[in-house]
């Protein structure tokens, strides 16, 4: 603190009076500078507060910088993760493309045959299929199903014609058998009336001869029937039978061996086939006969082999649908031919043997026809 003498000296040198308030403020400023921990005096800022504010600002800036660095790191990590995901997606897409390129498709044998029926050459079928298998399968299926529909409609006409023809034939046969069975013989009553009283011996002889002729007539009829039953197939029937056996033994039918069966060398159908396989063959022949008759009714004469092919597409259709459902979900092989057919032999073909007459009769006739061709009774 200045002494009174100093104060007096100062007062002499200046125009204003130093008041106690001013002294207090100066003292407070000096105290604040010497004791920074003490409270501020009004109008005098504290140095410590300023320093702390600067420290806080520095810390905030450091925190902000750290946050920005962390955000930058997170951003970089997110970008890396995103890039990794994109790379993974690209790899997955490439893998899918690679897998798709490895994916193989089957051209079912029935579809191949259906396209052959509309006049396509094997090379054209293969070329179209390999260019776009999925579209080709869709188009070929349409042709296959359309042909089956036409075949079934034609076969229905043929069956109707067969029924009518069979009725006429049966009626004529019944009439002939009835006429043949009736032995008219001699009018014995007229003989007795004319010769009875005068020539009883002659009447007796005539009666004996009549009985002998009756027995002879029966024997002759039996021999005729036996000759008919023992008669071998005609040349036309032999050609048809060879066509049937060739059809079932062809390479195109080998993929359906479990459905139609295969006949070992030196054995007949009954020895080699199961009941279901034999029935499937009978159904095909029955359908082929009906289709052949239907085409003739329309004035179109087709080869019996063509009728068999059309009948096969219809009879094996249930199996074909099953194959498509199974094969198209798994690994498939791209080729123009060849599928492995797995048939349980259950309800895979229409069992016409249980249909009511006259269709059952027609099927029976087909079996009789086979018996005549092969010399054996087909098992059922």
Q: Considering only CA atoms, which of 182, 160, 183, 114 is closest in space to residue 289?
A: 160
Q: Kindly state the DSSP code that residue 301 receives in the 8-state scheme.
A: -
Residue 94 domain-assigned (yes or no): yes
Question: Of the candidates 82, 102, 122, which is a domain's last residue?
Answer: 102
Residue 221 domain-assigned (yes or no): no
Is-contact 332 343, C-beta < 8 A?
A: no
The per-residue pLDDT string of the chain (380 residues; one tens digit each, 9 = 90 and over) reads 555 555 555 555 454 555 677 777 767 766 655 554 444 444 445 555 556 666 667 667 777 777 777 777 777 777 777 777 777 776 666 555 455 445 567 788 888 888 988 889 999 999 999 999 999 999 999 999 998 898 999 988 888 888 888 787 777 666 656 555 667 777 777 777 777 667 777 778 888 887 887 788 777 777 777 665 555 667 888 889 899 999 999 988 888 888 899 888 888 888 889 999 999 999 999 999 999 999 998 888 899 999 999 999 999 888 876 655 555 544 344 443 443 333 333 333 344 444 445 555 556 666 666 666 555 555 54
Q: 373: which 2 tokens? A: 């061709």
Residue 211 domain-assigned (yes or no): no
Q: SS3 of 335, please?
A: strand
Residue 265 domain-assigned (yes or no): yes
Domain match, 266 and 133 both = yes
Domain match, 290 and 162 both = yes
Residue 354 domain-assigned (yes or no): yes
Domain match, 164 and 28 both = no
**Which structural domain range is residue 91 located in?**
23-102
| CA dihedral sign, ordered 24, 26, 27, 28 | positive
Domain match, 61 and 92 both = yes
Residues 6+ apart with CB under 8 A from 362: 159, 162, 163, 166, 286
Residue 298 domain-assigned (yes or no): yes
Please tell me the pTM assigned to this model. Answer: 0.49
Is-contact 323 330, C-beta < 8 A?
A: no
Residue 98 domain-assigned (yes or no): yes
Question: Of the candidates 87, 102, 117, which is a domain's last residue?
Answer: 102
Domain match, 33 and 130 both = no
Unique residue bearing structure tokens 């000296």: 9
Phi, psi angles (nearest 5°) of residue 56: -60, -40
Domain match, 161 and 242 both = yes
Residues 6+ apart with CB under 8 A from 90: none
d(CA 272, CA 379): 11
Domain match, 89 and 120 both = no
Domain match, 83 and 146 both = no
Residue 11 domain-assigned (yes or no): no
d(CA 305, CA 103): 36
Domain match, 37 and 147 both = no
Question: Of the candidates 84, 102, 120, which is a domain's last residue?
Answer: 102
End-to-end CA distance of the chain: 141
DSSP 120-158: --HHHHHHHHHH-HHHHHHHHHHHHHHHHHHHHHHHHHH
d(CA 269, CA 261): 9
Residues 6+ apart with CB under 8 A from 200: none
Domain match, 243 and 320 both = yes
Q: How many residues does the chain have?
A: 380
Q: How many domains does the chain have?
A: 2
Domain match, 148 and 261 both = yes
* Dihedral of the alpha carbons of 57, 63, 64, 69, in degrees to the nearest 10: 150
Task: Quickly list H helices, the chain.
Answer: 4-13, 20-34, 47-102, 109-117, 122-131, 133-181, 188-195, 200-230, 235-249, 251-254, 257-260, 269-272, 275-297, 304-315, 317-327, 359-374
Domain match, 41 and 164 both = no
d(CA 363, CA 350): 12
């Amino acid at each position: 603190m200045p002494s009174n003498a100093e104060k007096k000296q100062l007062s002499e040198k200046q125009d204003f009076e130093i008041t106690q308030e001013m002294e207090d403020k100066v003292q407070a400023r000096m105290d604040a500078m010497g004791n920074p921990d003490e409270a501020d005096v009004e109008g005098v800022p504290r140095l410590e507060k300023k320093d702390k504010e600067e420290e806080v600002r520095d810390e905030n800036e450091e925190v902000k910088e750290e946050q920005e660095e962390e955000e930058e790191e997170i951003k970089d990590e997110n970008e890396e993760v995103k890039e990794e995901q994109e790379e993974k997606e690209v790899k997955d897409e490439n893998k899918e493309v690679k897998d798709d390129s490895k994916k193989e498709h089957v051209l079912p044998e029935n579809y191949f045959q259906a396209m052959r029926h509309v006049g396509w050459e094997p090379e054209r079928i293969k070329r179209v299929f390999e260019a776009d298998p999925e579209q080709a399968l869709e188009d070929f299926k349409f042709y296959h199903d359309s042909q089956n529909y036409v075949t079934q409609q034609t076969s229905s006409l043929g069956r109707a014609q067969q029924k009518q023809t069979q009725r006429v034939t049966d009626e004529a046969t019944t009439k002939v058998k009835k006429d043949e069975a009736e032995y008219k013989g001699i009018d014995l009553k007229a003989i007795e009336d004319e010769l009875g009283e005068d020539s009883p011996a002659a009447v007796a002889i005539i009666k004996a001869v009549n009985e002998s002729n009756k027995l002879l007539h029966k024997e002759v009829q039996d021999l005729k029937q036996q000759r008919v039953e023992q008669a071998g197939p005609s040349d036309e029937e032999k050609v048809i039978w060879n066509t049937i056996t060739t059809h079932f033994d062809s390479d195109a039918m080998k993929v359906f061996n479990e459905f139609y069966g295969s006949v070992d060398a030196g054995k007949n159908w009954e020895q080699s086939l199961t009941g279901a396989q034999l029935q499937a063959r009978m159904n095909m022949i029955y359908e082929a006969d009906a289709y052949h008759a239907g085409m003739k009714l329309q004035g179109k004469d087709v080869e019996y082999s063509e009728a068999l092919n059309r009948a096969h597409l219809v009879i094996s259709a249930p199996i074909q649908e099953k194959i498509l459902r199974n094969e198209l979900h798994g690994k498939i092989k791209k080729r123009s031919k060849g599928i492995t057919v797995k048939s349980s032999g259950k309800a895979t073909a229409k069992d016409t043997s249980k249909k009511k007459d006259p269709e059952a009769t027609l099927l029976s006739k087909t079996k009789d026809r086979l018996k005549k061709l092969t010399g054996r009774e087909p098992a059922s």
